[in-house]
Amino acid sequence: MTTLRSFQNEIDEIHNREVTKQRAHGLVEKEKENKPSKGKTKEGPSETSEVQDGAGSERLDLEDLGDRILTLLLCQNTADHDTARDQLAALLTQCNGEYVVRIGERPPRTELFAGELTDDTSNWTGQARSVEEIDVLRERVTKAVEEIGGKACLLFDVRTGHPRASILLRLPPPNVSLTPEVRCAVVGNVDSGKSTTLGVLTRGALDDGRGRARVGLFRHKHELETGRTSSVGMEILGFAPSGGPILPNTAKSVDPDVIRREKLGWDEISVQAAKIVSFIDLAGHERYLKTTLYGLTSGAPSCVILMVGANAGLIGMSKEHLAIALALSVPVVVCITKIDMTPANVLSETVKQVVKILKSPGCRKTPVFVKSIETATEIATSFGSDKVCPIFQISNVTGQGLDFVRTFLNLLPSSEGDKEKFAVDQPLEYSITEVWSVPYVGTVVNGILNAGSVNAGDTVLLGPDANGNYQSTVIKSMQRKRADVTRAEAGQCVSLALKRIRRAQVRKGMVLVNKLDNVPTRAIRQFEGQVLILYHNTTLQKNYQAMLHCGAIRQTVRIVGMDHPQGVLRTGDRATVQFEFISHPEFVKEGMKLLFREGKTKGLGVITKLL
């Protein structure tokens, strides 16, 4: 497994190096493109950056700025309160409209995460506050944030030992196009409770132990009959500026027909929400693994939520899903479900097994059991930056542990906020993951903006088609979470209606790019990649064919050459391999990660050269 770890580090280096190169080149292209339109006023991120630069003059450490605001608010002088309010506005702008204010001392993370926190624990950090000071600060922070148009929500309040509190501050987004979104892929074995958990989180009504909560999530008749998800479903959970989840009025209903029929539309949630969590509900059955794999590679999730049934443990496809998430370097969250119906000895065995697998050399994760709102708050605000893997123990029937999950999801950093993955200052690149034909609208595509920004009315190029050509089209209209928008930026998931394009002309994996006169758009038939064979029961040779997953692309490839001395590859072998797409060329770039599989064969790699 050490070879896998070192190989992953190596492909991450190659990926980062190529992305840096492409972004430098992209900035040059963007400048060329913008030269004729000097008179145009730029909107969007430039405005916020001006506010940020003016607000702080130099970028202060956020923690220090937060402490300084609290110190000013404790003063009796009104002028200090006004200064604190202005600095709070700057801080919220800098943090994309969301910030957690911590009042009082902060516990050491190791003891908090280990669940061994007591009043005698040493190494607390931050400014100690009395209970009276905390009450005054809570009131004044709430008043200051409401004066600038935001909302405050108390996350937790500890009165004993080391008094402390955390308050979530939020500014409502100006419109739906700027609402922060967190994308989470939900995976796990059959009957591990994926759809039930999502039904309870998004609809609000608890389950009856016989699958009532998941009824509203199924999209096909056979799913209702078998109780198994076979398609990539999308569910959203909105959080209001006040911090609470946005749920339908029928959240307390016990009638399955009402639960299925009475649900809030995505557009209704989008209008009310200050943050949206999108769940990609993936299939657990082995038969639908290619669908699950496509959802993981094309959906660009911020995290993978692995559901584990407490009664069954980490079995079957759960291990496969965990391995894929680790191969794609996506942070993992574990939810152990069905704790209400599982005997204590079976539950403890499941917990031991999950911890053992997470600590194994292949995973190298630090498991943290989330048993308090404070732990959920601390782990969510730093999630993704370290090797910590939160574990939630939940029951969809009694509701135990669900508050911790909601708090964690509410505080996760937004997907589009990941500037390493998505850059707004690059030329447009939009990858298509879904295609529909909508009556009276025409062809509609759904996908993710990997780079740049797009406006309704823009002329773009769609391709490559079977011959490697691109054709011009115009974006008639745009929707984000089924609400109309006029602009979208890198990292966002949007649907676009295309002018004069037939449904048959579009397939998943195609891209929309800027229409530039002198830049040749790429359509690649052959490419070279560094690969590691994770598993194969015999040998891989020239002309071997497998299904390749690379971003939104899913196509069969053939090996046309390799640099291995024997000309064959076995499990654990590394090589530079030349691939060829079998049916049509695709838009790929150096540095893109790839997975290929055929039956039980699995390989991981990165594109190093276009041929």
pLDDT, one tens digit per residue, over 341-352 is 999 999 999 999
- Closest to 96 (Cα-Cα) out of 177, 183, 182, 171: 171
- Looking at residue 260, its pLDDT comes to 59
Q: pLDDT class for 256, splitting at 50, 70, 90?
A: low
Residue with more model confidence, 35 or 82:
82
- Looking at residue 377, its pLDDT comes to 92
Q: Do 330 and 243 belong to one domain? A: yes
- Counting Cα atoms < 13 Å in the Cβ hemisphere of 93 gives 21
Q: Do 147 and 242 belong to one domain? A: no
- The predicted-structure confidence for 146-192, as pLDDT tens digits, reads as follows 999 999 999 999 888 889 999 999 999 988 888 999 999 998 888 88
User: What type of residue sits at position 361?
Assistant: P
> Is a pLDDT exceeding 50 seen at residue 473?
yes
Q: pLDDT class for 238, splitting at 50, 70, 90?
A: very high
- Looking at residue 115, its pLDDT comes to 82
- Looking at residue 401, its pLDDT comes to 93
- Looking at residue 354, its pLDDT comes to 93
Three-class secondary structure of residue 592 per DSSP: coil
- Looking at residue 519, its pLDDT comes to 55
Assign residue 472 the CATH number of its domain. 2.40.30.10
Q: Is position 366 within any domain?
A: yes
Residue with more model confidence, 61 or 51:
61
- Token look-up 């109309």 returns 484
Q: What are the φ and ψ backbone dihedral angles of 152, each rounded to 5 degrees?
A: -120, 145
Type and span of the H or E element at 432: strand 429-438
Average pLDDT (381-409) is 89
Q: Do 271 and 341 belong to one domain? A: yes
- Looking at residue 41, its pLDDT comes to 39
Q: Do 316 and 220 belong to one domain? A: yes
Average pLDDT (95-124) is 86
> Is a pLDDT exceeding 60 seen at residue 80?
yes
Average pLDDT (60-70) is 79
Q: Is position 36 within any domain?
A: no
Q: pLDDT class for 326, splitting at 50, 70, 90?
A: confident
Torsion sign over Cα 308, 309, 311, 314: negative
Lowest mean pLDDT among 35-49, 424-438, 534-548, 575-589: 35-49
Q: Do 220 and 259 belong to one domain? A: yes
Three-class secondary structure of residue 177 per DSSP: helix
> Is a pLDDT exceeding 50 seen at residue 37?
no
Q: Which of 514, 544, 577 is the last residue of a domain?
A: 514
Q: pLDDT class for 384, splitting at 50, 70, 90?
A: confident
Q: Do 363 and 218 belong to one domain? A: yes
Q: Is position 424 within any domain?
A: no
Average pLDDT (223-234) is 54
> Is a pLDDT exceeding 80 seen at residue 102?
yes
Task: Specify the DSSP class assigned to residue 569.
Answer: B
- Looking at residue 29, its pLDDT comes to 76
> Is a pLDDT exceeding 90 seen at residue 368?
yes
Residue with more model confidence, 403 or 94:
403
Measured distance CA(597)–CA(179) in Å, rounded:
37
- Looking at residue 57, its pLDDT comes to 35
Q: Do 237 and 205 belong to one domain? A: yes
Work out the widest C-alpha separation in the chain, in whole angstroms: 80
Residue with more model confidence, 16 or 52:
16
Q: Is position 328 within any domain?
A: yes
> Is a pLDDT exceeding 50 seen at residue 315?
yes
Q: Which of 347, 378, 411 is the last residue of a domain?
A: 411
Q: Is position 41 within any domain?
A: no
Are 47 and 93 in contact by the 8 Å Cβ rule? The answer is no
- Looking at residue 439, its pLDDT comes to 92
- Looking at residue 75, its pLDDT comes to 87
> Is a pLDDT exceeding 70 seen at residue 580?
yes
- Looking at residue 611, its pLDDT comes to 86
Lowest mean pLDDT among 308-322, 407-421, 510-524, 596-610: 510-524
- Looking at residue 213, its pLDDT comes to 66
Average pLDDT (261-286) is 81
> Is a pLDDT exceeding 50 seen at residue 230?
no
Q: Do 390 and 488 belong to one domain? A: no
- Looking at residue 420, its pLDDT comes to 81
- Looking at residue 216, its pLDDT comes to 60
Q: Do 111 and 149 belong to one domain? A: yes
User: What type of residue sits at position 20?
Assistant: T
With a CB cutoff of 8 Å and minimum separation 6, the contacts of 108 are: 121, 122, 123, 124, 125
Q: Do 266 and 346 belong to one domain? A: yes
Q: Do 298 and 383 belong to one domain? A: yes
Residue with more model confidence, 135 or 48:
135
Instruction: Quote the number of domains for the chain.
Output: 4
State both tokens at 261.
Answer: 């029929």
- Looking at residue 44, its pLDDT comes to 40
Q: Do 60 and 163 belong to one domain? A: yes
% of the chain beyond a pLDDT of 90: 42
11 lies in which domain range?
2-18+522-610
Q: Is position 382 within any domain?
A: yes
Average pLDDT (255-282) is 79
- Closest to 594 (Cα-Cα) out of 553, 563, 560, 564: 553
Average pLDDT (305-315) is 90
% of the chain beyond a pLDDT of 70: 87
Give the range with max mean pLDDT: 15-29, 193-207, 257-271, 552-566: 552-566
Q: pLDDT class for 601, splitting at 50, 70, 90?
A: confident
Q: Is position 422 within any domain?
A: no
Measured distance CA(252)–CA(240) in Å, rounded:
19
The pTM (predicted TM-score) of the whole model is 0.88
Q: Is position 315 within any domain?
A: yes
- Looking at residue 45, its pLDDT comes to 40
- For the chain, the average pLDDT equals 84
